């Protein structure tokens, strides 16, 4: 029997979601529907910068006290920023859950952004940017999306630039918060062995007193997509390559079929089509993977591989051959059963992680307005036909729609 989800909405619009789970450990997170794509042109990097500076002091705590509040009782406090969301989350013993809720509310709504601390944090992010630039297998994804969504904030990398970060002031931070940290775009999620009445009481006290601040803007739609092919010359031992396209948005009914296709082509297993062809059969690549990210109004499908530079063209040709096959040939009943069982197994195993369940719960409630149970997800997977997968292949991975970025 699946665990029951309980959700309430506070008078200011913040939603509180809870799944009761027998465990000595509780997981909680505050998901804010604000990310890189919500930045104005002169704010590039602000969402991520703000996430860092929230930890630097509140009206009643210095950075030292924030860092030690949960760690001193064996817990963890962390945060991350994506293109569309900012998440502050904690893992604690269930007896310390109220401490975590109070602390997350305090740093979200009561941060004071001491000037000395935020200048210090800029240097930390400069190092983070340099570290990222030293990793071509990660940097290529940002460069690809910059080309894929040219002119849209959705194409910007999350970290921003040193030039832009240097200019940010406390007033800039507060202006971004007032515009984008909207109460009707916030969800606090809890997974743990604590009664929902307690969760309501604590969250009502720490989150419920905040004034309502509903969102007054709409996200900008990306410009129409034009396929591209580009090579960037980098001082790397390997050639790195991304082949991809825009894909279905998060609430598109075809998303499940594309997820199955993504898994089939280059999912996390060693028996995926592209791993079998490039690595196992020909020995051309150590890493080849396919990923699909769904955004609110669009998505991205990527095929990434790294290989010795003389093998680059052969790898690309082999990949296109396999993509043409899935566009032209429907999967057999046995193949379809296999990939459905594989994806179902992966998702079921992932749901065993209460932390991942907590994080996905917040994202789903913001992006979709509901949370789909594992039983409902399995039913949607089972409903996909071979024709559905072939249709997704022809719309997303047909060669004429694909773009290519190469580091060589």
CB-CB contact of 226 with 402 (8 Å): no
* Within-domain flag for 288: yes
CA atoms within 13 A on the CB side of 322: 20
29 and 144 in a common domain: yes
User: Among 158, 191, 206, which residue terminates a domain?
Assistant: 206
**Closest to 299 in 3D by CA, of 261, 268, 333:** 261
pTM of the model: 0.93
327 and 187 in a common domain: no
328 and 379 in a common domain: yes
249 and 200 in a common domain: no
Taking the C-alpha atoms of residue 391 and residue 257, their distance in angstroms, rounded to an integer, is: 9
**Closest to 408 in 3D by CA, of 228, 229, 235:** 235
* Within-domain flag for 215: no
258 and 193 in a common domain: no
373 and 264 in a common domain: yes
Number of folded domains in the chain? 2
338 and 191 in a common domain: no
* Within-domain flag for 216: no
Per residue in 23-42, pLDDT (tens digit) is: 999 999 999 999 999 999 99
* Within-domain flag for 109: yes
Residue 217 pLDDT more than 60?
Answer: yes
* Within-domain flag for 219: no
Q: What is the pLDDT of residue 17?
A: 97
104 and 28 in a common domain: yes
Per residue in 167-178, pLDDT (tens digit) is: 999 999 999 999
**Residue 77, domain CATH:** 3.30.830.10
Per residue in 313-369, pLDDT (tens digit) is: 999 999 999 999 999 999 999 999 999 999 999 999 998 899 999 999 999 999 999
**Closest to 380 in 3D by CA, of 340, 351, 329, 350:** 340
Taking the C-alpha atoms of residue 333 and residue 25, their distance in angstroms, rounded to an integer, is: 43
* Within-domain flag for 299: yes
Per residue in 190-200, pLDDT (tens digit) is: 999 999 999 99
96 and 245 in a common domain: no
392 and 351 in a common domain: yes
* Within-domain flag for 213: no
User: In this structure, what token pair is assigned to residue 32?
Assistant: 């804010």
Per residue in 107-144, pLDDT (tens digit) is: 999 999 999 999 999 999 999 999 988 899 999 999 99
246 and 201 in a common domain: no
Range of the domain at 131: 5-206
CA atoms within 13 A on the CB side of 408: 15
Beta bridge partners of residue 300, listed in sequence order: 246, 293
Residue 3 pLDDT more than 80?
Answer: no
Q: What is the pLDDT of residue 235?
A: 87
3-class secondary-structure state, position 109: helix
CB-CB contact of 106 with 70 (8 Å): no
152 and 184 in a common domain: yes
* Within-domain flag for 268: yes
Q: What is the pLDDT of residue 236?
A: 87
Rg over CA atoms, the chain: 22
């Amino acid at each position: 029997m699946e665990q029951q989800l309980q959700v309430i909405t506070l008078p200011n619009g913040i939603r509180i979601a809870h799944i009761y789970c027998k465990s000595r450990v509780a997981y909680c997170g505050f998901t804010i529907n604000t990310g890189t794509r919500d930045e104005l042109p002169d704010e590039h990097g602000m969402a991520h910068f703000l996430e860092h500076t929230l930890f630097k002091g509140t009206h009643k705590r210095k950075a030292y006290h924030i860092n030690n509040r949960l760690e001193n009782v064996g817990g963890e406090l962390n945060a991350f920023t994506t293109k569309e969301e900012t998440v502050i989350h904690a893992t604690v013993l269930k007896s310390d859950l109220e401490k975590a809720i109070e602390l997350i509310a305090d740093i979200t709504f009561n941060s004071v952004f001491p000037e000395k601390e935020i200048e210090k944090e800029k240097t930390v992010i400069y190092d983070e940017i340099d570290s990222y630039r030293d990793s071509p297998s990660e940097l290529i994804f940002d460069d690809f999306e910059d080309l894929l969504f040219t002119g849209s904030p959705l194409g910007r990398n999350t970290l921003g630039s040193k030039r832009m970060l240097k200019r940010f002031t406390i007033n800039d931070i507060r202006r971004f918060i007032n515009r984008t940290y909207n109460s009707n775009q916030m969800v606090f999620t809890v997974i743990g062995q604590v009664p929902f009445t307690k969760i309501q009481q604590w969250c009502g006290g720490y989150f419920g007193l905040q004034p309502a601040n509903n969102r007054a803007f709409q996200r900008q739609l990306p410009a129409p997509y034009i396929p591209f092919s580009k090579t960037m010359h980098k001082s790397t031992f390997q050639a790195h390559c991304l082949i991809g396209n825009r894909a279905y948005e998060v609430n598109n009914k075809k998303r499940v079929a594309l997820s199955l296709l993504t898994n089939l082509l280059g999912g996390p297993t060693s028996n995926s089509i592209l791993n079998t062809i490039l690595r196992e059969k020909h020995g051309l690549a150590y890493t080849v993977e396919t990923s699909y990210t769904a955004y609110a109004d669009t998505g991205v499908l990527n095929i990434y591989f790294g290989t010795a530079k003389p093998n680059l063209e052969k790898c690309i040709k082999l990949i296109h051959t396999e993509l043409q096959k899935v566009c032209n040939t429907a999967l057999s009943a046995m193949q379809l059963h296999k990939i459905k069982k594989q994806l179902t197994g992966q998702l079921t195993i992932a749901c065993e992680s209460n932390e991942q369940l907590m994080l996905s719960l917040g994202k789903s409630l913001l992006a979709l307005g509901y949370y789909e149970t594992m039983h409902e997800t399995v039913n949607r997977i089972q409903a996909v036909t071979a024709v559905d997968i072939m249709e997704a292949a022809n719309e997303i991975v047909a060669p004429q729609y694909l773009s290519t970025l190469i580091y060589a």
